[in-house]
A and B are shown apart, each in its own frame.
Chain A
C-alpha cells in the first residue's frame, strides 16, 4: 500500500510518501500565502521524486495548522496525533514527543502504539517557538543556522526572560551593548525558549525516550539547552521536520 502524509505547517509544507513502512520520497516547500497551492506543489515534487503519479497513492492524510486547505487529502488528523505516530514509527520507544516548529511548540505523551495520552501546546505567543530564535538572531545579527554552534561556545549563563519575543529583543539589545559576548547571548536565548518548552513537556509528564522533532530540532544550541533543562537524553531523528508528515502517512496506511 502506498500512502502520503502532508504536513501543512505555518512556515513549510512537508510531504512524505510511504510504501509498506518504507519512505519512498520526501519534499518540502515554503507555505507562503496560499496553503493549498503550496501543498499541491510539495505533493507534486514528492511524486516526481518517487516516480509515481497521484493515482498510485491510495490514501493521502493531511495534518498541520493548514490541513483543511489540502483539497486532495482523503482525511485529516490533528498534528499531535500525527507527531506521536510518526515519532513512534521511527523510534518505538518514544514516549514523550516534543515538536518545536516555527509558530507552535508542543509536548506530547504517547503510548507504545503512538496514541496520544496527553499533550500541551504553547499559546499563540512567539516566545515558545522557532520564531523567537529567528527574531533574536536578527537582533544580534547572526545567521539562524549559526546560532546553535555559537551558543555551544558560551562560557556563562545569563538569565533571559523569554516572556515576550518583542521585549526579549530589547533585553538582547541591552546585552549587546553591555558587551556580553554573542556566544553567551545565544545561549541565553536558547535557555529562555527551552525553559518554556521544557515546562510544556513536564506538564504532560516526561518519560524516556524523549524524541524532539520539528525544524527547531536542527538547532544544536536549543537541543543542548533542552537537555540541560530536562536532565535527560533527547533523541533526534535524522529529518526532524518530516516526522509529522510521516505520521500522517503512517496513519493513512493503517
Chain B
C-alpha cells in the first residue's frame, strides 16, 4: 500500500531529506511553523520541510528553554542541538507563537546554518490590511532567498510552485472528503501521516503518492470498521501517531481533524492572481487560522463546527501540548460550544512522550460514554 510509503517518509524523514539533497544537489530549508510561504522556497528550488517532534525525552534543551515552554518547542530544539538536522542549509519561522519562536532563536544562535529568517506573519488576519503587510514581508523574504542563493526566483517558477502546492492541497482534500463515508477508507492516524509526509517531502513527488493512494483506497480491505465511533481531533500541533493508533485500536475511528499537522495545513488553495506574491500571501491570511490569529471574532470555531457536522462526528478529542498558550485560550470556549451542540469532548494534554498508561482510563471512559448503553 502506498499509505505505508507515507508512514515511511515520516519515520525516516532525515533519510528522505538527505537522499533528496543528494539526488538533486539542491538545498533544504527547515521551517518551524505552517505560517511560512513555502511556495517561495520551493520556487527557488529549495526543499522546505517542517521540523516536527521526535518524541524522545531529552534534557539538551535545559540550558536554553526552561520548563514553562511547550514540549513541542523543546522537542524541536533538542533535535537541532543534537545535530539531527545537520543537513539543513537554512531555517525559517513565521511569526506565530512565542514558544516556537524561542526554540527558533536558540537554534539560530547555537546551530549555525547559512540562512536563517524570521518573517512577520500578521496576526490580525481578519483585518484587510494584514494582506498588505503580508505582501511586504513575502517580498522581503523572496529578496532574502534570492540573495542567499545568488539567483532570482522567476514568475514562472512561482507559478509552477503554486501549481504543485495547490495540487497537493486538492488531493489531500479529496482524500479527506472520502473520510465522510462510514466506514471511511482510512484511519485518522493514516490521514495524519499523509499530511505529515507532505510537510516532509517534495510536493511534486508527494502528489504522485497521493494519486496512488486515491486509486488504492476504494479497493482497500483492511481499513476501519463501520459502526465505529466517529471522532474528530482538534488542537495544537499533533504528530503523535502512536497515540492516534492506540485510540483507533479501541473501537473508534478518527474521521476528521483540525490541527496544523492536519487539515489546517492544506485546507485552502492559493487563488492565482497576477501579483504572485500577493496571491501566495493571501492564501495564508485566508487559511483556517491558528488560535493566536483568530480575533476579534472566532472564525476558527465556525470552521470546526462545519467540519464536525459534515463529518458526522460523535465526539471530539481536544489535544493540547502542555503549556501551549495559543490553544489554552481556545479550549474552554470550544469545549463549551461543542457541548452546546451535543458533541462530548475529552481534553488531553500532551507531553514530549505521551504516557498512554496515564491516559488509558480517560480515553476508555470517554469512548464508553459515547457508546456504552445503560439498559
Direct A–B contact in the complex, CB atoms closer than 8 angstroms: yes
Interchain CB contact (< 8 A) of A202 among B57, B63, B351, B358: B63
At the interface, is chain A mostly helix, strand, loop or mixed?
Answer: helix
Q: Which residue of B lies closest to A164 (CB)?
A: B358
A195 within 8 A of partner (CB):
yes
B357 touches A199 (CB 8 A): no
A53 within 8 A of partner (CB):
no
Interchain CB contact (< 8 A) of A195 among B57, B63, B66, B355: B57
B353 within 8 A of partner (CB):
yes
A161 touches B353 (CB 8 A): yes
**For B60, what are the chain A residues with a Cβ–Cβ distance below 8 Å?**
202
Interchain CB contact (< 8 A) of A171 among B66, B351, B355: B355
Interchain CB contact (< 8 A) of A161 among B62, B66, B351: B351
The B33-63 residues at the A interface (CB cut-off 8 A) are 57, 59-60, 62-63
A202 touches B59 (CB 8 A): yes
The B326-375 residues at the A interface (CB cut-off 8 A) are 351, 353, 355, 357-358
**For B62, what are the chain A residues with a Cβ–Cβ distance below 8 Å?**
199-200, 202-203
The smallest beta-carbon distance between A192 and chain B, in angstroms, is 9
The smallest beta-carbon distance between A25 and chain B, in angstroms, is 38
Decide: A167 near B358, CB < 8 A? Known: A159-B353, A161-B351, A161-B353. Answer: yes
Q: Which residue of A lies closest to B357 (CB)?
A: A171
The smallest beta-carbon distance between A140 and chain B, in angstroms, is 15
Interface residues on A, range: 10 to 19
At the interface, is chain B mostly helix, strand, loop or mixed?
Answer: loop
Tally the A-B contacts, defined by beta carbons under 8 Å: 33
Q: Which residue of A lies closest to B358 (CB)?
A: A167
The smallest beta-carbon distance between B360 and chain A, in angstroms, is 8
B353 touches A229 (CB 8 A): no
**For A202, what are the chain B residues with a Cβ–Cβ distance below 8 Å?**
59-60, 62-63
Q: Which residue of A lies closest to B55 (CB)?
A: A159
The smallest beta-carbon distance between B340 and chain A, in angstroms, is 33
Please report the C-alpha to C-alpha distance between residue A199 and residue B67 in the assembled complex, in whole angstroms.
10
Interchain CB contact (< 8 A) of B358 among A171, A195, A199, A203: A171
Please report the C-alpha to C-alpha distance between residue A167 and residue B57 in the assembled complex, in whole angstroms.
18
The smallest beta-carbon distance between B61 and chain A, in angstroms, is 8
A196-207 Cβ-contact flags toward B at 8 Å (1 or 0): 001111110100
A174 within 8 A of partner (CB):
yes
Please report the C-alpha to C-alpha distance between residue A170 and residue B357 in the assembled complex, in whole angstroms.
8
A180-218 Cβ-contact flags toward B at 8 Å (1 or 0): 000000000000000100111111010000000000000
Please report the C-alpha to C-alpha distance between residue A159 and residue B60 in the assembled complex, in whole angstroms.
17
Please report the C-alpha to C-alpha distance between residue A203 and residue B62 in the assembled complex, in whole angstroms.
5
**For A195, what are the chain B residues with a Cβ–Cβ distance below 8 Å?**
57, 59
The CB with the most chain B CB atoms within 10 A, among A163, A167, A203, is that of A203
B59 touches A161 (CB 8 A): no
Decide: A174 near B63, CB < 8 A? Known: A159-B57, A161-B351, A195-B57. Answer: no
Please report the C-alpha to C-alpha distance between residue A198 and residue B62 in the assembled complex, in whole angstroms.
9
A229 touches B59 (CB 8 A): yes
**For A161, what are the chain B residues with a Cβ–Cβ distance below 8 Å?**
351, 353, 355, 357-358
A174 touches B357 (CB 8 A): yes
B355 touches A199 (CB 8 A): no
Please report the C-alpha to C-alpha distance between residue A12 and residue B210 in the assembled complex, in whole angstroms.
64
Please report the C-alpha to C-alpha distance between residue A205 and residue B62 in the assembled complex, in whole angstroms.
9
Please report the C-alpha to C-alpha distance between residue A215 and residue B57 in the assembled complex, in whole angstroms.
25
The B62-77 residues at the A interface (CB cut-off 8 A) are 62-63, 66
**For B353, what are the chain A residues with a Cβ–Cβ distance below 8 Å?**
159, 161
Q: Which residue of A lies closest to B67 (CB)?
A: A199
**For A170, what are the chain B residues with a Cβ–Cβ distance below 8 Å?**
357
A203 touches B357 (CB 8 A): no
- Of the A-B pairs whose beta carbons lie under 8 Å apart in the complex, a sample of 10, sorted by A's number, is A159-B57, A161-B351, A163-B358, A171-B357, A195-B57, A198-B59, A202-B62, A203-B62, A205-B63, A229-B59
Give A contacts to B, CB under 8 Å: 159, 161, 163, 167, 170-171, 174, 195, 198-203, 205, 229
Given A161-B351, A161-B353, A163-B351, 20 more A-B residue pairs with CB atoms under 8 Å apart are: A159-B57, A159-B353, A161-B358, A163-B355, A163-B358, A167-B358, A170-B357, A171-B358, A174-B357, A195-B57, A195-B59, A199-B59, A199-B62, A200-B62, A201-B59, A202-B60, A202-B63, A203-B62, A203-B63, A203-B66
Closest 7 pairs between A and B when the two form their complex, measured CB to CB: A202-B62, A199-B59, A161-B355, A198-B59, A171-B357, A203-B62, A199-B62
